[in-house]
Amino acid sequence: MNLRQVFVSLLMFGVAGLLLFMYLQAWIEGQHTASEEKLQQQITNQDFTFSPPGTQRQVVQNGHVPPGLSRQEMAILGSRHWRGKADPFGAVAVSLVSRLSDQQKISEPPLSQFREVYLPPALRPLNKTLVKGDEWKDVGSTQEKRRSFLYEFCKKYNSRKKLRTHLVHMVSRIYVEDRHKVLYCEVPKAGCSNWKRVLMVLNGLATSARNISHDDVHYGKHLRKLDSYDLKGIYARLNTYTKTIFVRDPLERLVSAFRDKFEHPNSYYHPVFGKAIIKKYRHNADEEALKTGSGVKFKEFIQYLLDSHRPVGMDIHWEQVSKLCYPCLINYDFIGKFETLEEDANYFLQLVGAPAELKFPKFKDRHSSDERTSAEVVRQYLKELSKEERQLTYDFYYLDYLMFNYTSPIV
């Protein structure tokens, strides 16, 4: 066999191998597409009836789909009554995962096929049997108004917009306290440090909130988050535990976060966020600022916040509450506010049957000598911004302002 024949043989072998590869690739893609179509058909046909794991599903009787809603959305809306609770995403997740083949369970994230959710939450009554005395009457009335306002807002908002998310991501900020069946969604700069102290006491991990250090609260990993449970565990807790969220005026929360992270020494926020912010937004920055990331100005911080091409990502301390806790997808039973933190928190502790001696801590977690971030403090910081920057900052938190009925600032 001469050199020419060897070359032709190798060329033909290579072409044959390429054709075989293309055939196999097409076959695999066809299998994957068929699998996706099968799963989509399961989602479409699934009635999503709301039953606890291990119990027989009921069948939705009415198959009629009103105009404007898909069968999938209508199925979810029609599955509202398991013990008066309504968190269908847990049941949806468990049902979908149970129907996947073993191969799909191994090769794909459990919820990778279920991204679109339409879930206006049901408003269920608070159990007030453990509340003692008439002193909480006004607090209870305020609570009902907040819950009703959020419920009506979410009905209106969700009717026009489908929300895309994953169940596990949706619950990733929620802390679990199993003894008193509490779920707390952490909103930084809205009393979260002391709330986690309270959860540790409720869980028997400490006898007093005052004895728990800042590092133990945030780095001790004593409390479990809801996303650490399997889907059935997430589902069960969402439907049986008392879910609470504590919020704060968005711009007060923003300024509080800036003061905490950038006006005090910080071994994380200065090198990670500060250096990137100074490098991009400060003209003629000196070498020391570029090296340490210290001394970020509020205007520079706002430029970073509003930049669609941020040099470093978002952070939970200034992320919108609507993206931290998903209040229109998770029907929170209790909505506390930082502005009335002490009375709201102590009322909530009565609702869940906490020990009578446990009261919400009054002390400030860090920088106790600093003036608290108030509306007046916020006004001073906003003076550093142009009118357009002030408006854009408000627009950034617009949904949080609407959702929790905060008065819009004069910008």
Q: What is the mean pLDDT of each run of 10 residues along the chain (411 residues)?
A: 68 69 59 43 33 35 36 36 35 35 37 40 80 89 95 78 72 96 97 92 87 77 92 93 97 97 96 97 95 97 97 97 94 96 95 93 75 93 97 96 92 67
How far, in Å, are 16, 256, 263, 287, 382 from residue 297 at the CA level? 64, 14, 9, 16, 12
Residue 275's contacts (CB-CB under 8 Å, 6 or more residues apart) are 290, 291, 292, 293
pLDDT of residue 172: 95
Question: What are the start-end ranges of the H helices in 184-243?
Answer: 192-202, 214-219, 231-240
So what's the pLDDT on residue 147? 95
Which tokens is 388 given? 């357009």
Q: How far is Cα 355 from Cα 171, in angstroms, rounded to an integer?
A: 27
Q: What pLDDT shows up at residue 155?
A: 86
Q: Where are the alpha helices (DSSP H) in 207-320?
A: 214-219, 231-240, 250-262, 269, 275-281, 287-292, 298-306
Q: What tokens appear for 291 in the block?
A: 């090296």
What is d(CA 197, CA 62) in angstroms, rounded to the nearest whole number?
A: 48
- Residue 199, pLDDT score: 94
Contact between 316 and 284 under an 8 Å Cβ cutoff? The reply is no
Q: Report pTM.
A: 0.71
pLDDT value of position 26:
60
Distance CA 151, CA 162 (A): 16
Q: What's the pLDDT at 140? A: 94
β 163-164/116-117 pair status: antiparallel
Predicted confidence at residue 213, as pLDDT, reads 77
Measured CA to CA, the distance from residue 328 to residue 84 in angstroms comes to 18
Q: What is the CA radius of gyration of the chain?
A: 26
Question: How many angstroms separate the CA atoms of 36 and 96, rounded?
Answer: 12
Per-residue pLDDT at 219: 75
pLDDT of residue 261: 96
pLDDT of res. 207? 83
User: Are the beta carbons of 404 and 247 closer than 8 angstroms?
Assistant: yes
Predicted local confidence at residue 134, as pLDDT: 84
Query: What is the pLDDT at residue 218?
Result: 75
